Structure 1
Amino acid sequence: MSGVGEARAFRQVDVFTAEPLLGNPVAVVHEADGLNDEQMQAFARWTNLSETTFLLAPQDPAADYRLRIFTPTTELPFAGHPTLGSAHAWLEAGGVPAGDRLVQECGVGLVELRRERGRLAFAAPDLIRSGPVEEGLVQRIVSALGIARDDVLDIAWADNGPGWVGLRMESAAAVLALEPSYGELPVDVGVVGPHPEGSECAVEVRAFVPHAAGITEDPVTGSLNASLAQWLAGDVLPASYVAAQGTAIGRRGRIYVETAEDGTIWVGGDTLSTISGRVTL
């Protein structure tokens, strides 16, 4: 990259929170057509957020816009909080969906979004990998998490793009007590455990992401909560529930999971813009 580029509209959106600075921020560049891969990756590296996104004209006529999603180190085919934050930014900038629902085009295909009770929610995309985790990998994961194999109630692939392995523990307290050795984690891991009955939230979730996002712990993670719901909702977990995430790192994320009558899992949360302006790339 060299020289002075074009100024484009820019927003930074806090996702999965109704209060500024307590969710997970995503950087959103509007009208990003014309930027190349190198420019997008360089800007994502510079923002140093878990994800930076770029809104482009759709290639699929069924979509309202196309989205590219970058971590500081790589591009992702899908991610949840960038999907909600980017939809918020597109709508706030005057975007009007062609149909009753918003349709996003991204690496995993078309993703539907809806707005109900003032919150945006996305339809969980299909898992691209599920099922048992090989025991050798399980042993490396539990060792990196600093727990015993017996502390794990269940473990499975729950990958909808970023590469998640899901791990279930006996309680939210056990989830919050984890102190991983991040450099030893062989894959990105999402951990879930229940809060006591009657609590505000049904479960506590943590996302350890030294591989996909290039950081240690993601504050609030839509893709992980979607895949955990596909794995556990209606069986171990209620069909619809509220999850807490970010508690261990000073955030207050709230993720609203709802299983529709047709079996579609919707993952939603509050969104608000904290920064708006223009960025020259």
Structure 2
Amino acid sequence: MQVDVFSARPFSGNPVAVVLDGTGLSAEQMQEVARWTNLSETTFVLAPTTEEADYLLRIFTPQAELPFAGHPTLGSARAWLEAGGTPRRGGRIVQECGAGLVTVRRQGEDLAFAAPPRIRVGGLDDAYRERITAALGIRREQVLDHQWVDNGPGWAVVQLATAREVLDLEPDLSLIPEAMVGAIGAHPVGGEYRYEMRTFAPGAGVAEDPACGSMSAGVAQWLTASGAAPAAYRVSQGSRVGRDASISVSADGDGTVWVGGDTSVLIRGTIAL
């Protein structure tokens, strides 16, 4: 299946290709398929290796395998449910992946994943921050804050003052070919969205991701824990690449961050492997 994630309007979110039975495929074969689909991610559903999980998911960009990614997690859960999958724990799906076990909660037709722990946190070092600002074409003083928000893919983020500054970025990614980096900025108070976000992933072979759940998760853990963001908000993403993505974020009292959005299966078929 091919699933559109983070948009209620078809063909406006971030698509993920889901191979519902990856049994017997080698990592090399999976990577070959991911290069061919040329989407930001392609996933392969396999039998879990632990009784706690409903399935094992392997996630590939056109260039490499990732231990975790957000929109593929939601899109694969939607495809698995549509194919007749039944969670072992009622309204909770448990995905096994390189980052461990990730819970996806189901409330009606809505899906949201629990943000996995970050494996790298803290501010960026001066040299890397300088490279990022140069690549994004901004001045050092435009960066209000910065942080590693890495939950597997390698994300770092810079915070700008406004959504407009984020939307106006014209990055030169040749200056940071290995980077996985995002930029966020606030929308005016009282609007539909709290933040505008853009994510650039040249290190994974994706220039600009239309909608990024893993970046949203790491950013939300950072901002809600510090009190810089409310416990629930929405993020807009994708307009610079012709998409209209909406990402919902909420933090429970225990600190668990949930990231969700609309998911819809737009392609069903078979693939010859």
Q: 2:6 aligns to what?
A: 16
**How many Å apart are 1:176 and its aligned residue?**
0.2
Q: 1:245 aligns with which of 216, 220, 237?
A: 237
> 1: distance between equivalents of 2:124 and 2:192?
32
1:37 aligns with 2:27: yes
> 1: distance between equivalents of 2:207 and 2:80?
29
Q: 1:106-125 maps to which residues of 2 (within 5 A)?
A: 106-116=97-107, 118-125=109-116
Q: 1:86 aligns to what?
A: 76
TM-score by length of 1: 0.94
Secondary structure of the structure 2 residue equivalent to 1:87: helix
**How many Å apart are 1:228 and its aligned residue?**
0.5
Q: 2:202 aligns to what?
A: 210
Amino acid aligned to 2:136: L
Q: 2:62 aligns with which of 72, 76, 81?
A: 72
**CA-based RMSD:** 0.9
> 2: distance between equivalents of 1:135 and 1:153?
14
**How many Å apart are 1:133 and its aligned residue?**
1.0
**How many Å apart are 1:60 and its aligned residue?**
1.1
**How many Å apart are 1:118 and its aligned residue?**
2.6
Provide runs of 4+ in structure 1 moved above 3 Å.
none
> 1: distance between equivalents of 2:146 and 2:196?
16
> 2: distance between equivalents of 1:50 and 1:265?
23
Q: 2:125 aligns to what?
A: 134
Q: 1:3 aligns to what?
A: none
Q: 1:259 aligns with which of 246, 251, 260?
A: 251
Q: 1:223-238 maps to which residues of 2 (within 5 A)?
A: 223-233=214-224, 235-238=227-230
**How many Å apart are 1:117 and its aligned residue?**
5.1
Structure 2 spans left out of the alignment, 5+ residues: none
1:175 aligns with 2:170: no
Amino acid aligned to 1:31: D
State how many pairs are aligned. Answer: 270
TM-score by length of 2: 0.97
Q: Could you report, residue by residue, the CA deviation over 1:66-86 in whole angstroms, capped at 9, with x for unpaired residues?
A: 000000010000000000000
Q: Could you report, residue by residue, the CA deviation over 1:3-29 in whole angstroms, capped at 9, with x for unpaired residues?
A: xxxxxxxx0000001111000000000
1:162 aligns with 2:153: yes
Amino acid aligned to 2:138: I
Identity %: 56
Secondary structure of the structure 2 residue equivalent to 1:131: coil
Which has the higher relative contact order, 1 or 2, with Cα contacts under 8 A spaced 6 or more apart? Answer: 1
> 1: distance between equivalents of 2:107 and 2:253?
16
